[in-house]
Amino acid sequence: MARAGPSRGPVLRADASRNRQRILTAARELFSRRGLAVPMEDIARHAGVGVGTLYRRFPTRPDLIAAAFEAQMTAYADLAEEALAAAQPWPAFCRYVGQVCEMQARNCGFAAALTMTLPRAREFHAERARACTAISELARRCQESGELRSDFVVEDLILLLVANGAVSAAVGQAAPDLWRRLAGYMLQAFAARNEAPLPPGPPPSVLYQALLQLRE
């Protein structure tokens, strides 16, 4: 009786895993350099796989974006919780704002992904929610200590990140450290010692709808 040949199942699974990693590596590199609008065909070519293979692994662009920036979103949330754990809330808040603005400036793809709404990316949004919870509590402590203006809301930080992402995309190659000036201006504006009446901010629901428009 002839012996059965080796099963091809594990080999196929290994190939699929390898292809997935090649696609993610290519996507991270191209998203970082060229932004999130880079053609999917370019990503497939850079990864050395067919477009059909790419779409089998990641049926939509938001699926690929969420997977490509999963580690960065985790780091973003970790930074927020580290800031919350610091003994002095205001210096930790300022440090966190600078760290996140720098993350955006160094990767134009992440700058856009950070403020996007990707409906099917549950883990992606879970990490963003973890960061938001930590920063909301940190902001409350800064207000209690009298260092953060009393009318600050977390949506103000989202506005800063949207603005910083746009500035980094526009002039990042020519002036890669310009984010420092923008962040510095905004932190001065956030400080309680500079508090003055401001126009009302958008309701969270309006801001959420605006972020939806950033989705591909």
**What confidence tens digit (pLDDT) does each residue in 186-208 have?**
999 999 998 888 787 767 766 66
Examine the pLDDT at 17 and tell me if it is beyond 90.
no
For the chain, the straight-line distance linking the first and the last C-alpha, in angstroms and rounded, comes to: 57
* Weakest-pLDDT range from 65-74, 147-156, 205-214: 205-214
Question: What was the pLDDT predicted at 133?
Answer: 95
What are 23's two structure tokens? 């696609």
Q: Are 120 and 62 in contact (CB under 8 A)?
A: yes
Say whether pLDDT at 34 is over 80.
Answer: yes
- At 207 the pLDDT is 64
For residue 75, is pLDDT > 90? yes
Q: Report the distance separating Cα 35 and Cα 57, nearest Å.
A: 20
Q: What is the pLDDT of residue 5?
A: 45
Q: Distance (Å, rounded) from C-alpha 203 to C-alpha 59? A: 33
For domain 9-59, the CATH class is mainly alpha
Could you identify the residue written with the tokens 């955006």? 104
* % of residues, the chain, pLDDT over 70: 88
Classify residue 156 as exposed, middle or buried by CB count within 10 Å of its CB (0-12, 13-18, 19+): middle
- Extents of the domains making up the chain: 9-59, 70-212
Q: Which position has the higher pLDDT, 165 or 96?
A: 96
Q: Is 47 exposed, middle or buried (0-12, 13-18, 19+ CB in 10 A)?
A: buried
| Global confidence as pTM | 0.81
Model confidence pLDDT, tens digit, residues 88-119: 999 999 999 999 999 988 888 888 888 777 76
CB 111 within 8 A of CB 164: yes
| Cβ atoms 85, 141 nearer than 8 A | no
The burial of 55, by beta-carbon neighbours within 10 Å (0-12 exposed, 13-18 middle, 19 or more buried), is given as middle
DSSP secondary-structure letter at 145? T
